[in-house]
A and B are shown apart, each in its own frame.
Chain A
Amino acid sequence: MSGAADREAVFPTRQSLGLMKAKLKGAETGHSLLKRKSEALTKRFREITRRIDEAKRKMGRVMQIASLSLAEVTYAVGGNISFQIQESARSARFRLRTKQENVSGVLLPAFESYLTEGNNDFAMTGLGKGGQQVQRCRETYARAVEALVELASLQTAFVILDEVIKVVNRRVNAIEHVIIPRTENTIKYINSELDELDREEFYRLKKVAAKKQRDNAETDAEMKQKRENQEALDREAGESAAADDSAPADILAVDEDEDVIF
């Protein structure tokens, strides 16, 4: 039994018993709250995992289509246009907004993509030939990037949630398996110590009472003895007083009594 070892270092007093009881109650409330939080997070986590799976499959498809459309551009234009594209791009058309989502007190970043309208830096690329393919390829890649953004925000949420769930579960387990048993042990210990003290006190009182009784009995016996002696004396004196006036014994006149000591 871990009883003696696994408890807090407190003096077994009634005050600390009260403190411990409050602590136990707090720990139990905290435990149930954290447990609920962990469950909520896990639910969210599962949902995100499912969505990541979906997003990844979607990304695979979209990227395939996108790279094929790039091949189409190469076919139609008949050359490498990457440099022109790179140079003519001036400002980003596809932008991201970040916002935060609150799941049971955990802030998850969420990315939201949007297209800036009327921003087509290379609208004229492939004017002579292949322009339509270039534009179509651009649209396809915009969709591919959208899928990537979605996946990115899911992945970030996944990592963060994973971390948080681990911490919360650790706390739940710590409360459940360490703090609550320890507090309970401490309370048990304090109770047993207090009981021990009670018993000791009771025994002591009993001892005192027993001693007193014995002392009383002794004094009583002494008194009785003394009285008997006196009576015997009186009788002797009465016999002699009968002879000589047999005056009643004058108690006051008699020599002082021995002091009675209790």
Chain B
Amino acid sequence: MEGLLFNVNNGYIEGIVRGYRNGLLTGANYTNMTQCETIDDLKLQLGPAYGDFLASLPPNPSTSSLAAKTTDKLVAEFRYVRANAVGSLAKFMDYLTYGYMIDNVALLITGTLHERDTRELLDRCHPLGWFETMPVLCVATNIEELYNSVLIETPLAPYFKGSLSHQDLDELNIEIVRNTLYKNYLEDFYHFVNNNPDMAGTPTAEVMSEILEFEADRRAINITLNSFGTELSKADRKKLYPSFGMLYPEGTLMLSRADDFEGVRLAVEGVGDYKSFFEAAGLGGGAGGPGNMAGGTGSDGKTLEDMFYQKEMEISKMAFTRQFTYAIVYAWVKLREQEIRNITWIAECIAQNQKERINNYISVF
């Protein structure tokens, strides 16, 4: 049914995005890239995909500038798609950018808290998370002013409302603020894809729910694992878990009570995928566990983080098997981000001459 009118508004966008997806690097490309001896070789290998964006780089560029240029391409393409989007797809894409906005706002709040010149920070913000009123954030000089007169003008205002006061901004760790915002954002996004009349009951809602549920679970697990040994109390930790996802509510309740790696493993036992992740990570010397700061060489096996990325990429790949859905835009952005990370990782390994771990990238095509 949804296929009847989808192409009237969104057919062009879907075509474009599917075209972009075909431009993603494949396994063969990655194999070629890992054979490179220098960054210049790598640049040459990236030529077909990123040619015009990498052209301005000097010979043997730094990995960070390489990453910046590849991100530029994603941003340019995203902006083009966004400019052509209408109606609920435009709104959907705006939702996509909110995640980056949260990072940017957190950055600016940090700057304001430490009384830095926040204008310098604008350059460091993620371009996808740029919004029109962002430079205005720099006007505020103290946190109360920022909260009362500036933050409410941003698209993120609803996420602040009700869960954070301006005292919280001052007192809480910025990471808690960021994760609270992110939790609110994920819940809102989830609500949006399932209740918007254009999306409810369509493949978009189906696919996006899967992706967002996974994202929510991943955050919950990561927050739990990373909070061991910090001053984050269990009650505070519980507040950061999104209230949906495959783990919700029993799993998250158990997560909130977990004290160690083993506790987290028990909490996620109910979900087959996560269970297997934890078993694999547990076999790899418990690399995901805190206190195991072997550092340096790291584990030979994949870490939990790697497996989450792998899973995310697979879900994103599967999204393209569906027709008439907005989810492909989301999936494309995630795939491209992973590609940028892969390129950066490979470039880093080449630059540092650490070839033995160069194959740690994640490729799904």
Spell out A's residues near B (CB within 8 Å): 62, 64-69, 71-72, 74-76, 78-80, 83-84, 87-88, 120, 123-133, 135-137, 139-140, 143
**Minimum CB–CB distance for B26 against chain A, Å:** 20
Residues of the B chain whose Cβ atoms lie less than 8 Å from the Cβ of A130: 305
Chain B interface main SS type: helix
Beta-carbon nearest neighbor of A82 in chain B: B124
Taking a contact as CB atoms under 8 Å apart, the answer to whether B298 and A124 are in contact is no
Residues of the B chain whose Cβ atoms lie less than 8 Å from the Cβ of A76: 305
**Which bucket holds chain B's interface residue count?**
35 or more
Q: Which of B218, B293, B294 has the most CB of A within 10 A?
A: B293
**Minimum CB–CB distance for B69 against chain A, Å:** 14
Q: Contacts A68-B348, A71-B349, A132-B305 given: A123-B230 contact, CB under 8 Å? A: yes
Within 8 A of A (CB), among B286-322: 288, 290, 293-298, 303, 305
Chain A interface main SS type: helix
Contact of B226 among A71, A83, A87, A132 (CB under 8 A): A132
Taking a contact as CB atoms under 8 Å apart, the answer to whether A69 and B296 are in contact is yes
Contact of A124 among B116, B175, B290, B297 (CB under 8 A): B175
Contact of A84 among B110, B226, B240, B303 (CB under 8 A): B110
B82 sits at the interface (CB 8 A): no
Residues of the B chain whose Cβ atoms lie less than 8 Å from the Cβ of A129: 218-219, 222, 305
Within 8 A of A (CB), among B174-232: 174-176, 178-179, 182, 218-219, 222-223, 225-227, 229-232
Residues of the B chain whose Cβ atoms lie less than 8 Å from the Cβ of A136: 293-295, 298
> For the complex, what is the distance from the CA of A225 to the CA of B296, rounded to whole Å?
127
Contact of B114 among A68, A79, A87, A127 (CB under 8 A): A87
Taking a contact as CB atoms under 8 Å apart, the answer to whether B305 and A124 are in contact is no
Taking a contact as CB atoms under 8 Å apart, the answer to whether A124 and B219 are in contact is no
Contact of B345 among A75, A80, A124, A125 (CB under 8 A): A75
**Minimum CB–CB distance for B334 against chain A, Å:** 10
Residues of the A chain whose Cβ atoms lie less than 8 Å from the Cβ of B246: none
B37 sits at the interface (CB 8 A): no
Taking a contact as CB atoms under 8 Å apart, the answer to whether A127 and B222 are in contact is yes
Residues of the B chain whose Cβ atoms lie less than 8 Å from the Cβ of A132: 225-226, 288, 290, 303, 305
Residues of the B chain whose Cβ atoms lie less than 8 Å from the Cβ of A67: 352
Taking a contact as CB atoms under 8 Å apart, the answer to whether A65 and B296 are in contact is yes
Taking a contact as CB atoms under 8 Å apart, the answer to whether B226 and A140 are in contact is no
Spell out B's residues near A (CB within 8 Å): 63-64, 67, 103, 106-107, 110-111, 113-114, 116, 121, 124, 126, 173-176, 178-179, 182, 218-219, 222-223, 225-227, 229-232, 240, 288, 290, 293-298, 303, 305, 337, 341, 344-345, 348-349, 352-354, 357, 360
Q: Which of B106, B111, B222 has the most CB of A within 10 A?
A: B222
Write 30 A-B pairs (CB below 8 A) sorted by A numbering. Answer: A64-B353, A68-B348, A68-B349, A68-B352, A69-B298, A71-B344, A72-B298, A75-B345, A76-B305, A79-B103, A83-B107, A87-B110, A87-B114, A87-B116, A88-B110, A120-B230, A123-B230, A124-B176, A124-B232, A127-B179, A127-B240, A128-B178, A128-B179, A130-B305, A133-B305, A136-B293, A136-B298, A139-B293, A143-B295, A143-B296
Taking a contact as CB atoms under 8 Å apart, the answer to whether A140 and B218 are in contact is no
Contact of B110 among A65, A66, A83 (CB under 8 A): A83
Residues of the B chain whose Cβ atoms lie less than 8 Å from the Cβ of A71: 63, 344-345, 348-349, 352
Q: Contacts A132-B288, A143-B295 given: A126-B121 contact, CB under 8 Å? A: no
Q: Contacts A88-B174, A128-B222, A132-B225 given: A75-B341 contact, CB under 8 Å? A: yes
* 5 cross-chain pairs, A with B, having the tightest CB-CB distances, nearest first: A131-B226, A71-B348, A124-B175, A123-B230, A65-B296
> For the complex, what is the distance from the CA of A88 to the CA of B297, rounded to whole Å?
27
Taking a contact as CB atoms under 8 Å apart, the answer to whether A69 and B107 are in contact is no
> For the complex, what is the distance from the CA of A136 to the CA of B348, rounded to whole Å?
18
Taking a contact as CB atoms under 8 Å apart, the answer to whether B341 and A83 are in contact is no
Taking a contact as CB atoms under 8 Å apart, the answer to whether B344 and A124 are in contact is no
Taking a contact as CB atoms under 8 Å apart, the answer to whether B225 and A123 are in contact is no
Q: Which of B103, B106, B219, B360 has the most CB of A within 10 A?
A: B103
> For the complex, what is the distance from the CA of A71 to the CA of B176, rounded to whole Å?
25
* Given A68-B357, A133-B305: 4 more A-B contacts, CB < 8 Å: A62-B296, A128-B179, A137-B295, A139-B293
**Minimum CB–CB distance for A244 against chain B, Å:** 152
Q: Contacts A123-B231, A133-B305, A139-B293 given: A80-B124 contact, CB under 8 Å? A: yes
**Minimum CB–CB distance for A146 against chain B, Å:** 12
Taking a contact as CB atoms under 8 Å apart, the answer to whether A127 and B226 are in contact is yes
Taking a contact as CB atoms under 8 Å apart, the answer to whether A140 and B296 are in contact is yes
Residues of the B chain whose Cβ atoms lie less than 8 Å from the Cβ of A139: 293, 295
Residues of the B chain whose Cβ atoms lie less than 8 Å from the Cβ of A78: 337, 341
Beta-carbon nearest neighbor of A64 in chain B: B352
Residues of the A chain whose Cβ atoms lie less than 8 Å from the Cβ of B182: 128
> For the complex, what is the distance from the CA of A67 to the CA of B218, rounded to whole Å?
27
